[in-house]
Chains A and B, each alone.
Chain A
Amino acid sequence: MEKAMGENWEPKIIAFLCNWCSYAGADLAGVSRYQYPPSIRIVRVPCSGRVSPNLILDALRSGADGVLVSGCHPGDCHYISGNLYARRRFALLERFLEFIGIEPGRVNFSWVSASEGEQFAEVVQEVTERVRKLGPAKKLVKEITICPR
């Protein structure tokens, strides 16, 4: 399969970006022509508080090599406190996934505001590097094998 770690392997990273900050930040990065690796696939969510662990795990199950969840800086949430609830949730999830043996760096979290285009590009750069070092994800990926006839 294409998952084999070859010379040209590029990680696939699912990025859950909040509509009000990080998604706009990604937009600004593009408008400002900051270069960042083409490894991310963006899913726009209303708030980082919308991102349940189910979504993160589902991304990994479907074959994502890494996940990035990004929201507004604490205090800047469009919904006042969505990212603060999310922060608690992610803190527990991150530690728990590490506990059961998912490599640290597969699931990443960041705060990027709508004015931080450059920072967004840097975050994507960093996440891509982290995931590239880890190699293709295998642990929670559900491979669908077709039975030979």
Chain B
Amino acid sequence: MSTVNEKIAGQIQQIATQLLESKEVALFLGYTQGTVPGAMQPFVARDVEDAKRLSWSSFCVVNLANYLPGLLRSLEPPRRPNEPPPEGPLPKVGVVATGCWSRNMVVQIQENQIDRERVVIVGVPSRGMVDRRKLQESVGQREITSIQEDDNSLLIRGNGFEKVINRWDVIRDNCQTCVHPDPVIYDRLVGSLSGDRNIPDRFRQVEEIEALSVEERWNWFQEEISSCIRCYACRNVCPLCYCPTCFVDDSRPQWVGKSKEQVDTALFHIVRAYHCAGRCTDCGSCESVCPMGIKMRLFTRKLQKDCLELFDFEPGLDPDIPLPLTTYSTSDPEDFILTQIRKGDEK
């Protein structure tokens, strides 16, 4: 009897083999086993032999959409920056996509980063991915030497211990509060769609912070980012970050200082989060790759909540609905504008 993930892995391999063999795609982007237990590695299969290495587990935390624009560009013939792309069909890329990854691809399509015609999306309804930190905590920070995955439990082995834990207990926060686990766009489907989930308190983490006083919120923010080492892993892993020159690398004007000073770090996190406003699909990659365990997902989550409240918009669900900051409505809320507040008072 094989587990759900083994079945998914088998089907991904099968589809990838077929796509690569028929030359429908030039590359297939998926996951392979990493070198340490509980770490999966993004992997590009170039031929049928490679496709055998494709795998799937509950540890695929990095959003594959991040690699798509680069991979597609790598298949185009070299050209100068403003030169138009060559005529005729360009090679395609196959890619595995869970719910949030596919929503990121929708955003990338809207922002002209990828061409829908050039990607073959293999949709995988997500069952949630494991949070490495929660996992480590559950075994008291001891070293894990092997992880055996079952459908709803994980068997963890280490030096001198063995423990079975409930899978859902160590699932990432963003997956636990995810309402759209199914891929939005796909060409092939692995497994069956599970439908939208109903989570009434999905913004609970954000609401808890909103309930604090201004000073408490500031202290929370400072505390949260105080350990930041400005490695920019969160930026590098983010499928939304593709500016040719990132604002942190700009030196004229220099928006953010390059030091590890608290103000610089605060500005980095404010602007990074703000850049994702109305685009972030809460895939949780940033938080998963942070070496310091900063919960920066909460910042983007807050913006996601506001976008929903103010503009009734959730990113990535429909390529035909423009992103909130690229459009406007004459009836947008303006209760924060001073002159409007005064008008209200006079009435």
Give A110 to B257 CA distance when docked, in angstroms. Answer: 30
Residues of B with C-beta under 8 A to A91? 306, 310, 332-334, 336
Number of A-B contacts (CB under 8 A): 119
A88-B332 in contact (CB<8A): yes
Interface residues in A, total, Cβ within 8 A: 42
Q: Complex formed: what's the CA distance from A88 to B331 in Å?
A: 11
Contact B339 A85 (CB under 8 A): no
Q: Tell me which residues from 88 to 112 in chain B have a Cβ below 8 Å from any Cβ of chain A.
A: none
Q: Which of B209, B247, B330, B339 makes the CB contact (< 8 A) with A75?
A: B330
Q: Tell me, in angstroms, the Cα distance from A116 to B272 when the chains sit together.
A: 37
B242 CB-CB contact with A under 8 Å: no
Interface of A is mostly: helix
With an 8 A cutoff between CB atoms, is B193 at the interface? no
Q: Which residues of A contact B10 (CB under 8 A)?
A: none
Query: B271 to A87, Cβ gap below 8 A?
Result: no
- The main secondary structure of chain B at its interface with chain A is helix
- The chain A residue sitting closest to B213, CB to CB, is A101
| A98–B336 alpha-carbon span in the complex (Å) | 12
| Cross-chain contact A140 with B266 (CB below 8 angstroms) | yes
Are A100 and B218 in contact (CB-based, < 8 A)?
yes
Cβ-defined contact, B209 with A111, below 8 A: no
Which residues on the B side are within 8 Å of A37 (C-beta)?
none
Selected interface stretch from A1-9, A28-36, A39-47, A119-127? A119-127
**A96-B302, A100-B299 as given contacts; A141 in contact with B263, CB under 8 Å:** yes
- With A110-B337, A111-B340, A119-B339: A61-B263 Cβ-Cβ less than 8 Å: yes
Nearest neighbor of B222 in chain A, beta-carbon distance? A101
For residue B267, which residues in chain A have a CB less than 8 angstroms away from its CB?
A: 57, 61, 140
Nearest chain A CB to B2 CB, angstrom units? 45
How near does chain A come to B115, taking the closest CB pair, in angstroms? 27
Is there an interface contact between B271 and A110, defined as CB atoms closer than 8 Å?
Answer: no
The 7 closest A-B pairs by CB, nearest first: A101-B218, A101-B217, A84-B328, A110-B338, A100-B221, A142-B263, A110-B339
Residues of B within 8 A of A58 (CB): 253, 255
Q: Cβ of B257 and Cβ of A99 under 8 Å apart?
A: no
B residues in contact with A111, CB < 8 Å? 337, 339-340
Question: Which residues in chain A, 88-131, are within 8 Å of chain B measured between CB atoms?
Answer: 88-104, 108-112, 119, 122-123, 126-127
A94 CB, nearest partner CB in chain B, Å: 5
Offer 19 A-B interface pairs, CB within 8 angstroms, sorted by A.
A53-B271, A57-B255, A57-B270, A58-B255, A74-B330, A84-B329, A87-B328, A91-B310, A91-B334, A92-B274, A92-B278, A92-B306, A95-B302, A96-B277, A100-B217, A100-B266, A101-B221, A122-B342, A142-B263
Given contacts A53-B274, A81-B328, A87-B334, 8 further A-B contacts (CB under 8 A): A74-B334, A90-B336, A91-B336, A93-B274, A96-B270, A96-B302, A104-B214, A109-B338
Rounded to whole Å, the gap between the CB of A142 and the closest CB of chain B is 5
Known contacts being A58-B253, A95-B306, A96-B306, is A88 close to B311, with CB within 8 Å? yes
What is the CA–CA distance of A74 and B340 in the complex, to the nearest angstrom?
11
How many Å lie between the Cα of A88 and that of B299 in the bound state? Answer: 18
Complex contact B333–A100 (CB within 8 A): no
A122 shortest CB reach to chain B, Å? 8
The answer to the question of B87 belonging to the interface, with a C-beta cut-off of 8 Å to chain A, is no
* Nearest B residue to A103, CB-CB: B214
Can you name the residue of chain A whose Cβ is closest to the Cβ of B307?
Answer: A92
Select from chain B the residue with minimum beta-carbon distance to A95: B306
CA distance A101 to B210 in the complex (A): 10
With an 8 A cutoff between CB atoms, is A50 at the interface? no
